[in-house]
């Protein structure tokens, strides 16, 4: 058995030991798959309005009830997952992209360290939602702008994590050796350092996914996120607010969907962090 | 200790300068002529031109920035377009609910988080720990506005325990007004307690594995004394940091909660300013919020330095 | 099996501490390990027993087990007895004693000092307060009497300017000073047993001698027993009356110091002794060379743990585990000790 096999076997063994993480991964997979296969999974067409069946509580027909236009809530949640999870995923991609590049530079090139980190500090001096709202005000409401705004908001976190890991790895002998051999900076960063900091980056990615889902919901709820016509979990709650007194399920279920998605992601992130960190192997 | 203070202060000023720069230039990125936006659809070309002159919008961007910065430092945050009054005044009018909301939320978050963190660290791995950690994890992932709606439904509408929304009569006594903050503060406190719980737990675990804890036990001290006096005594320092951090985070969290509960605070002001493109208010609020955040961080650092005898001696 | 009542010519009355076939285990992620197996040793009032062994031999774990300071819930005593004679002239089995029972003894009748003086003191409390804590708890003193007692402890360990230093924090003191504070802490309630786990290893050589002398002086003045854990045979020669040698979690030899240094019974002990620079024999060219112990540390035999590295190992040594046998003044765990003597 090669070293890689042994490592993977240990990883899988730890994964299965953690039933909670497994459960979280399962729940997330269900959400993602139903989002991707929404057309087949959803019992009803989410945009079909049946005014005669408006604001009906959960029943055999509409498992999660209907909203103010008679639309099936379960179907809307499933289709809403596409927007909510999709935005979250794109935010991860972009924030990771920008953040990793800046973090690598900050960690590896001394002269760039201070300016990049000061910029990151300045951005983190503003609360996430506030900065996001501000950016949305500048950019205008659209799903794409939400992705852009949130990517900018979360990029500094990535920069910090990547920079910290880069500093550690850069100090290792094999990097010095590579430099001595005349390997170009770009190659060192891409091949030697990046591969070695993959674990903390991956862990951070899952957390940012969770934050992004929550943030998008908050923004949409405030009306500063995606336009209200776009069905995301956040807009569903915003729209359902006024009917909450009589038909609470309109607000309850989209919220539960958000909680399930964010919670699963966080559990997975925590689990990954434990599993990938060799130092965390402690006695019971 | 003094030059620690000065170093932090200068770092702070640099950060604030950067924030101001970011705020100014990003706002200018918005499409459209700021003067036209400010005056709205009904403005005439002459009015727009006049306003442009007042704000120096014809001058190079850097000059505008300089002028704007000068005004900020004088304490003049500009004039709100929609509210017809200085931004500073608008902010001050709405400071009270936000301030108390943030204060109570921090207290609730700390009152939940610190004991929870200590308990789950001391009984690490046991059922208590798992339950506490699970609850903390759960509360960190609940959208505060959703929880707010839930609370309103049950505690206000169905059971009539607390007012549904708003901040009550401006003329009403303080206590009556504060009653309106119970639900929102609980929501915010709950959601933000998770970070404190996790952090306290982690600090306690670190400290409990230190050598001097073994020494304390070897003296025959009761476990309670070891945990509280020796372990938490040392954990207090990092815990203060995280409580401060939470206070800063709450400034952001308050925004959403104020909207849900209809509280006339700064957060609510910012949201409506954003929706209406009231740029002076947006800019002013951002500067103020960043300043508060940064000052809270400085205060936490100073408390930290004062409490830890190792730093105090320097 | 046993090895409890070795014929110590030192004291004829009952030992203060008698560890009887003690085994300590740890629950870990992948099973249970037993780093201490079948350990027996005795300690009498007023004597210093050195517990010698390399890192990982189980000497620290043994001492923690005696004090009841094994990390919970991972560590536990899997078998054996630890008989201790209390001040009230009762003999209790520390292995079976309740948590509260142990707590009452700790600090009052048995105390321990540790290897790392830099990290063994609470950084946010003054040293005066840390000493006062034990005194308040066990002796019930308070107010002026408490202050006087604490100052007296600091004087006892020769800390200059004790009255002022009482209000110092640990980080304001050097390593040697901190170790003195630890000793003052341990001695504050006049324990009858002091366990010293490599107290001088982390200190400068010059300070080491001072600390050793201090401990020895305190022992003579108070009549307490000292269990001194070390890997340094030089230290053993200085202060120990008797020696117990451990290897791979077991006791391999126990003897009085002088006879042991003259001629050790167990091959491991002999090998350890010949590592001492003073022992190096001159070779053909007249230069004295050090002789390392052959083989790899950490590689243990299935029967006799030392067999892979033993110059006298026979075929039988890999098959039959040696038991602890009584000798003329001690004990040995070796199949061939009689022949090698």
B308 vs C: CB within 8 A: yes
Structure tokens at B153: 């439904």
Q: Is B157 within 8 Å of A137 when comparing Cβ atoms?
A: no
Count of pairs with CB atoms under 8 A, one residue in A, one in C: 13
Of all residues in chain A, the one with the smallest CA distance to C32 is: A283
Which of C116, C125, C137 lies closest to B221 in CB terms?
C137
Each residue of C170-195: pLDDT tens digit? 989 988 899 999 999 999 999 999 99
**C199 three-class SS:** coil
C249 vs B: CB within 8 A: no
Q: Which chains touch A (3 or more CB pairs under 8 A)?
A: B, C
Residue with tokens 């052959």: C294
Would strands C225-230 and C48-52 be described as parallel, antiparallel, or unpaired? parallel
Residue with tokens 């594995």: B209
pLDDT band at C324 (very low <50, low <70, confident <90, very high): confident
Q: Which residue has the higher pLDDT, C299 or C55?
A: C55
> What number of residues does chain A have?
284
Bridge partners for C253 per DSSP: C245, C332
The pLDDT of residue B1: 61
Min Cα–Cα distance to chain B from A222, Å = 7
The pLDDT of residue B139: 92
**B79 three-class SS:** strand
Nearest to C339 by CA among C280, C283, C272, C265: C265
The pLDDT of residue B143: 92
Q: Is B141 within 8 Å of A266 when comparing Cβ atoms?
A: yes
A48 in any annotated domain: no
A174 in any annotated domain: yes
A38 in any annotated domain: no
CATH (domain of A248) = 1.10.3720.10
Chain B partners of A223 at a C-beta cutoff of 8 Å? 271, 275
Of all residues in chain C, the one with the smallest CA distance to A283 is: C28
Q: Which chains touch C (3 or more CB pairs under 8 A)?
A: A, B
Q: What percent of chain C has pLDDT over 90?
A: 40
Q: What stretches in chain A show pLDDT beneath 70? A: 1-3, 11, 13-17, 277-284
The pLDDT of residue C43: 92
The pLDDT of residue A129: 86
Q: Is C108 within 8 Å of B217 when comparing Cβ atoms?
A: no
A136 in any annotated domain: yes
Q: How far apart are CA C49 and CA C256, in angstroms?
A: 9
| Residue from C27, C29, C61, C74 to probe the interface with A (highest A Cβ count within 10 Å) | C29
Domains and their CATH numbers in chain C? 10-109+189-292+299-340 (3.40.50.300)
The pLDDT of residue B61: 74
Angle at C54 between CA C48 and CA C57, to 5 degrees: 90
Mean pLDDT of C83-108: 89
Min Cα–Cα distance to chain C from B104, Å = 30
Min Cα–Cα distance to chain C from A196, Å = 26
Q: How far apart are CA C201 and CA C52, in angstroms?
A: 13
A26 in any annotated domain: no
Name the strand (E) or helix (H) holding C92: strand C91-93
B263 burial (CB, 10 Å; 0-12 / 13-18 / 19+) is buried
Structure tokens at C150: 């604490």
Supply the pTM of this predicted model. 0.81
C103 vs B: CB within 8 A: yes
Q: In what order do the strands lie in the sheet with C17-28?
A: C31-43, C17-28, C75-85, C91-93
Q: What's the N-to-C CA distance of chain A in angstroms?
A: 28
Residue with tokens 């604030």: B16
CA distances from A1 to A9, A11, A84, A278 (A): 10, 15, 43, 20
The pLDDT of residue C282: 63
The answer to whether the peptide bond before residue C73 is cis (omega within 30 degrees of 0) is yes
Of all residues in chain C, the one with the smallest CA distance to A10 is: C30
The pLDDT of residue B163: 75
- Each of the 314 residues of chain B gets a pLDDT tens digit; together they read 677 778 778 878 888 888 888 887 777 776 666 666 666 666 677 777 777 776 666 677 777 778 777 777 777 777 776 777 888 888 888 888 888 888 899 999 999 999 999 999 998 888 888 889 889 989 999 999 999 999 888 888 777 777 777 777 777 777 777 888 888 999 999 999 999 999 999 999 999 989 999 999 999 999 899 989 999 988 888 888 888 888 877 877 788 888 888 888 888 888 888 777 777 788 888 888 888 888 888 888 888 777 777 766 55
Q: Which residues have CB under 8 Å from C258's CB, separation 6+?
A: none
pLDDT band at C291 (very low <50, low <70, confident <90, very high): low
A153 in any annotated domain: yes
Structure tokens at C208: 């080491």
A94 in any annotated domain: yes
Nearest to B200 by CA among B269, B142, B132: B132
- Look up the domain containing A83 and give its range: 65-281
Q: Is pLDDT of C91 > 70?
A: yes
Chain A partners of C35 at a C-beta cutoff of 8 Å? none
Instruction: Tally the domains of chain A.
Output: 1
What ipTM was reported for this prediction? 0.84
A23 in any annotated domain: no
Least confident of A86-100, B265-279, C119-133, C286-300: C286-300
Min Cα–Cα distance to chain B from C310, Å = 36
C112 vs B: CB within 8 A: yes
Chain B partners of C172 at a C-beta cutoff of 8 Å? 313
Each residue of C190-245: pLDDT tens digit? 999 999 999 988 888 888 888 999 999 999 999 999 999 998 888 898 889 999 99
Q: Is B218 within 8 Å of C106 when comparing Cβ atoms?
A: yes
Q: Is B274 within 8 Å of A214 when comparing Cβ atoms?
A: no
C133 vs B: CB within 8 A: yes
Chain A partners of C29 at a C-beta cutoff of 8 Å? 281-284
């Amino acid at each position: 058995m090669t070293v890689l096999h042994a490592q993977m076997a240990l990883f899988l063994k730890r994964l299965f030991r953690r039933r909670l993480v497994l459960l979280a991964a399962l729940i997330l997979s269900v959400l993602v798959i139903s989002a991707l296969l929404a057309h087949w999974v959803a019992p009803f067409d989410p945009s079909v309005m049946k005014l005669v069946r408006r604001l009906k509580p959960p029943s055999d027909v509409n498992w999660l009830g209907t909203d103010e236009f008679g639309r099936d809530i379960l179907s809307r949640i499933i289709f809403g997952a596409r927007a909510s999870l999709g935005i979250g995923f794109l935010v991860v991609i972009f924030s990771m992209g920008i953040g990793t590049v800046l973090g690598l530079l900050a960690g590896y090139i001394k002269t760039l360290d201070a300016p990049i980190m000061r910029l990151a500090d300045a951005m983190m001096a503003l609360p996430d939602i506030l900065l996001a709202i501000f950016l949305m005000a500048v950019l205008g409401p659209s799903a794409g702008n939400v992705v852009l705004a949130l990517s900018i908001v979360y990029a500094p976190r990535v920069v910090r994590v990547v920079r910290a890991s880069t500093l550690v790895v850069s100090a290792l002998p094999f990097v010095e050796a590579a430099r001595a051999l005349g390997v170009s900076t770009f190659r060192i960063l891409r091949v030697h350092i990046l591969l070695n900091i993959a674990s903390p980056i991956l862990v951070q990615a899952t957390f940012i996914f969770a934050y992004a889902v929550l943030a998008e919901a908050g923004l949409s709820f405030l009306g500063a996120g995606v336009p209200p016509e776009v069905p995301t979990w956040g807009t569903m709650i915003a729209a359902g607010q006024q009917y909450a007194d009589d038909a609470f399920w309109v607000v309850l279920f989209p919220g539960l969907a958000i909680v399930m998605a964010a919670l699963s992601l966080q559990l997975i992130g925590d689990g990954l962090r434990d599993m990938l960190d060799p130092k965390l192997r402690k006695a019971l | 200790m003094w030059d620690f203070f000065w170093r932090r202060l200068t770092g702070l000023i640099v950060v604030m300068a950067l924030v101001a720069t970011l705020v100014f230039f990003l706002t200018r990125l918005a499409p459209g002529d700021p003067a036209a936006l400010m005056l709205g659809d009904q403005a005439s070309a002459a009015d727009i031109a006049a306003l442009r002159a007042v704000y120096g919008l014809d001058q190079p961007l850097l000059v505008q920035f300089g002028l704007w910065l000068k005004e900020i430092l004088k304490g003049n945050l500009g004039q709100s377009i929609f509210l017809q009054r200085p931004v500073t005044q608008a902010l001050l009018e709405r400071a009270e609910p936000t301030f108390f909301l943030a204060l109570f939320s921090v207290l609730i978050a700390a009152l939940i988080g610190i004991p929870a963190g200590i308990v789950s660290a001391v009984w690490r791995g046991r059922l208590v720990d798992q339950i506490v950690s699970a609850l903390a994890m759960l509360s960190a992932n609940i959208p505060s506005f959703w929880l707010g709606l839930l609370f309103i439904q049950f505690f206000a509408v169905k059971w009539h325990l607390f007012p549904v929304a708003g901040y009550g009569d401006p003329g009403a006594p303080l206590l009556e007004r504060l009653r309106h903050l119970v639900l929102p503060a609980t929501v915010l406190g709950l959601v933000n307690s998770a970070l404190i719980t996790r952090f306290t737990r982690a600090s306690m675990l670190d400290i409990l594995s230190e050598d001097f804890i073994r020494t304390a036990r070897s003296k025959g001290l009761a476990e309670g004394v070891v945990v509280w006096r020796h372990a938490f005594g040392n954990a207090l320092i990092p815990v203060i940091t995280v409580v401060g951090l939470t206070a800063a985070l709450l400034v952001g969290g308050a925004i959403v909660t104020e909207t849900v509960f209809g509280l006339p605070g700064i957060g609510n002001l910012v949201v409506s300013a954003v929706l209406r493109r009231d740029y002076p208010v947006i800019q002013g609020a951002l500067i103020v919020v960043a300043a508060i955040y940064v000052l809270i961080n400085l205060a936490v650092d100073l408390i930290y330095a004062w409490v830890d005898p190792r730093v105090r001696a320097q | 099996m046993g090895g409890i009542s070795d014929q110590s010519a030192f004291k004829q009355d009952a030992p203060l501490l008698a560890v009887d076939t003690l085994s300590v285990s740890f629950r870990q992620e992948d099973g249970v390990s037993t780093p201490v197996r079948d350990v027996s040793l005795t300690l009498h009032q007023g004597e210093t027993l050195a517990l010698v062994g390399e890192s990982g031999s189980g000497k620290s774990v043994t001492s923690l087990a005696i004090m009841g300071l094994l990390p919970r819930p991972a560590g536990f005593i899997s078998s054996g007895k630890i008989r201790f004679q209390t001040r009230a002239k009762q003999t209790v089995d520390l292995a079976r004693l309740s948590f509260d029972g142990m707590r009452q003894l700790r600090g009052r009748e048995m105390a321990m000092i540790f290897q790392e003086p830099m990290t063994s003191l609470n950084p946010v409390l003054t040293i005066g307060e840390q000493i006062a804590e034990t005194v308040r708890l066990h002796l019930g003193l308070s107010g002026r009497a408490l202050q006087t007692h604490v100052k007296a402890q600091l004087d006892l360990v020769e800390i200059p300017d004790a009255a002022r230093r009482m209000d110092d924090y640990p980080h304001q003191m050097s390593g040697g000073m901190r170790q003195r504070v630890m000793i003052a802490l341990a001695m504050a309630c006049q324990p009858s047993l002091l366990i010293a786990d490599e107290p001088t290893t982390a200190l400068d050589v010059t300070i080491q001698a001072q600390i050793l002398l201090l401990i020895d002086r305190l022992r003579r003045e108070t009549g307490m027993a000292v269990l001194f854990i070390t890997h340094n045979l030089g230290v053993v020669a200085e202060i120990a009356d008797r020696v117990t040698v451990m290897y791979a979690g077991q006791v391999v030899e126990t003897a009085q110091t002088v006879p042991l240094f003259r001629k050790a019974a167990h091959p491991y002990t002999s090998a350890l002794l010949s590592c001492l620079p003073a022992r190096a024999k001159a070779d053909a060219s007249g230069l004295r060379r050090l002789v390392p112990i052959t083989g790899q540390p950490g590689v243990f035999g299935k029967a006799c743990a030392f067999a892979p590295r033993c110059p006298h190992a026979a075929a039988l040594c890999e098959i039959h585990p040696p038991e602890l046998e009584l000798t003329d003044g001690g004990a040995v765990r070796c199949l061939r000790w009689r022949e090698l003597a």
